[in-house]
Chain A
Amino acid sequence: MSGRRAELRSFLRGCDVPVRVLDRDPTGASWLPEHLRPWALEDPGAQAEIRRFVEAERCLSELARPMEEAMFVTDVMARVEREGREDVRPCLRATVLFAAHLAAVVLGVYALGWAFPDAGRYVETAQTSIEDAAAWAAAAWFDVADGLVLAAAGLVAVLGAVALRYARRGRMPHTSGA
């Protein structure tokens, strides 16, 4: 590639000429740098490159043409009607989810105790632990059965964290319009 061609390309890469000017003068007679102009106006390769640049700029400016479709508005309004305002705020939803998960785990522990009486020793310990959180915290590290409860508590914590994360994602940012 010749030095002038490289220079033309470098100029076109950073060129900021309004489309209306390019429309009026697609050859570059008025907007090319003076030292390149005589060569660029004569050279067919340079002109081809300039034409393609101008065409690309025109296309880019036409990308702004809005897409109109009546059905889109209908679809949006149908969704607004269907899903409308959020009944619960994200924070409240996260709290409800967390409480529901917690309740599910507690019920699960009791249900397991009922279904597997042989494991009564462990379940009994777990039940005691749930009823007496302080005692459980002290004993959990020393008892295998309490280890099960610890795992359950961990599960609840993880589910709670997931619920909070989803709630944060679902929250509408930038609502202040500032």
Chain B
Amino acid sequence: MARSRAIATAGPGLRAGVRDVADMALVARAQQDADKEAFAELVRRHHGRIRNMLLRLCGGDAALADDLAQDVFLRAYRALPRFERRAEFGTWLYRIAYNVFLNHTTRTRRFDALGEHVERGRPAPASDEPDGGDVRRDVERAIAELPVHYRAVVVLYYLRDVSYPEMAEILGLPLGTIKTHLFRARARLREIMMAWDEKDGTADEVTP
């Protein structure tokens, strides 16, 4: 335990041995020598994106997203000996993360439509000059209102480092379906936000 803590919090000096090493070389080290330092570096590199993805999928529930992210890395560590390195390590992790999220959804029946902690249909009051914080909250709520399969596509799309073929691989869907889902999901997202604006009435107020 103490050793793992030392590895995880290792400073620049201690990390020098792994910092400049490519992902696949780290994976090889973690696979062949059960090198925990190499695995810790992989966690350090990828945890931000994985947690971000899960946070959006969980409708902004940060505690749950972190719990699931820990499960993702634990599963990845356990499955590492069977990882054949045909895909990017990051893509493989995204795929595990999506499966972990789906398992959680199936088990708890949560997030089919919306997280319990998310206020449904209560957007921040709109104004002429949209405030960044308000719009951000609205966007997060609108994402949480999407059905799970649309939400996953939108989240992966806006993570930006995931290509369409990789999205198809992560979600286990054909490329064409991904593009269709993405188009529909983005349209739905905007519809939700426009409906809120309309309800709020501010969009028409500024029209003379």
Q: How far is the CA of A5 from the CA of B153 in the complex (A)?
A: 28
Q: How many A-B residue pairs have CB under 8 A?
A: 172
The 7 closest A-B pairs by CB, nearest first: A66-B48, A45-B207, A175-B82, A77-B4, A81-B4, A74-B8, A172-B79
Contact call A73/B43, Cβ cutoff below 8 A: yes
At the interface, yes or no: A3 with Cβ under 8 Å from chain B? no
From 66 to 86 in chain B, residues with beta carbon under 8 angstroms from any chain A beta carbon are 66, 69-70, 73-75, 77-79, 82-86
Q: With contacts A44-B206, A52-B130, A59-B132 known, is A14 near B73, CB below 8 A? A: no
B109 within 8 A of A: no
Q: Which residues of A contact B190 (CB under 8 A)?
A: 12-13, 53, 56
User: Which residues on B sit within 8 Å (CB–CB) of A43?
Assistant: 207
The answer to whether A52 and B135 touch across the interface, beta carbons within 8 angstroms, is: yes
Interface residues of A in 31-66 (CB under 8 A from B): 43-45, 47-49, 51-53, 55-56, 58-66
- Is the CB of A169 closer than 8 A to any CB of chain B? yes
A residues less than 8 Å from B48 (CB atoms): 66-68
Tell whether A79 is near chain B: CB-to-CB under 8 Å: yes
Are A72's CB and B51's CB within 8 A? yes
Q: SS class of chain B's interface: helix, strand, loop or mixed?
A: helix
**Residue on A with the closest CB to B74?**
A79
Chain A interface residue number, banded = 35 or more
Task: Determine if A78 is an interface residue (Cβ-Cβ < 8 Å).
Answer: yes
- B interface vs A, CB < 8 Å? 1, 3-5, 7-9, 34, 36, 39-40, 43-44, 47-49, 51-52, 55-56, 66, 69-70, 73-75, 77-79, 82-87, 91-92, 95-96, 99, 103, 126, 128-130, 132, 135-136, 138-140, 154-155, 158-161, 183, 186-187, 190-191, 193-194, 197, 202-204, 206-208
Are A73 and B47 CB-contacts (below 8 A) given A44-B207, A59-B135?
yes
User: How far does the alpha carbon of A81 sit from the alpha carbon of B203 in the complex, in Å?
Assistant: 55
